[in-house]
Amino acid sequence: MKLKKSIEKAKQLRKELEQKTAAPEISPDKTEESVSEKTSFSNDWQPPVYCESCSIRLDFDLLAQNRCVSMLPNSPEAEYYKILQTNLQQRANGKNWNTIMVTSVMPNEGKTLTSINLAGAFAKEFNQTVLLVDCDLRRQNVHKYLGYSFDKGIVDYLMNGCALKDLIVWPNVEKLTVISGGRTISNSTELLGSPKMKSLIKEIKHRYEDRYIIFDVPPILSGADAIAFSPLVDCIVVVVEEGRTSMKDIKSAMDMIPAEKIMGYVLNRRKAPIRGYY
């Protein structure tokens, strides 16, 4: 299986990664997500040093098992997410768009895994960073897919006044940070559409010009969360499942969110074989 080759490659690179990240030299004036003062268009662009966020290490075997393919080196399946990332980036260029909501029509169609792999694809770009935010406040599954536990999430920021820097995890993937974990709640719609959430998105959208923010949001037809959250982002990606999502449900879902923000659809769990270049 091609994933097995990726796992073996990942294991070979793990020692190099550990040596690289074991004792980073951090300037005392660096902040949690400090970045180079160079613009994102400079050839001298440097990746950030995450000196205040919680650092964890990912298990490549578990990533492969959970199909987080964009986190694995040389995974052929990751190419599909690279195509998705490139299409989104080309459409966002020149429009000052950097906040992307990933949702689905119905539950269990793969929107969380799509969010993770899309974030991994963005992180592999040379001169940009990506923040993945788990806004599924009733489930919080992003950190579970990535294989780590964390006791704080976006709920702690919105309800308890927890500092943003205390929520951010760096999974030792260069240029990628994650907010996922903590408790879940039932009244999530009110929080996702709240003024505090709106203020947060505005702040993280404009803090760094070279960062994309991907929000994993509950399915459209499962409740009002996606409807409440959709006005706050620049664009929306909708995941549908081959052979399962009906056109009737898709039409119903599209009537509930801003049509002008829909960037397109991701056809998930397609059964057609992968066609490699070589």
Assess contact for 192 and 225: CB atoms under 8 A: yes
Poorest-pLDDT segment among 50-54, 94-98, 99-103: 50-54
Q: Which helix (H) or strand (E) holds 262?
A: strand 262-268
Assess contact for 126 and 97: CB atoms under 8 A: no
Provide the residue ranges of all domains of the chain, joining segments of one domain with +.
2-18+53-268
**Quick one: average pLDDT of 89-103?**
92
Question: What CATH code is assigned to 2-18+53-268?
Answer: 3.40.50.300
Is 60 exceeded by the pLDDT of residue 13? no
> So what's the pLDDT on residue 20?
43
> So what's the pLDDT on residue 36?
36
> So what's the pLDDT on residue 219?
97
Assess contact for 156 and 167: CB atoms under 8 A: yes
Which residue in this structure is represented by tokens 């119905």?
A: 106
**Quick one: average pLDDT of 248-253?**
96
Query: Does residue 258 sit in helix, strand or coil?
Result: coil
111-154 pLDDT, tens digit each? 999 999 999 999 998 788 999 999 999 999 999 999 999 999 99
> So what's the pLDDT on residue 76?
87
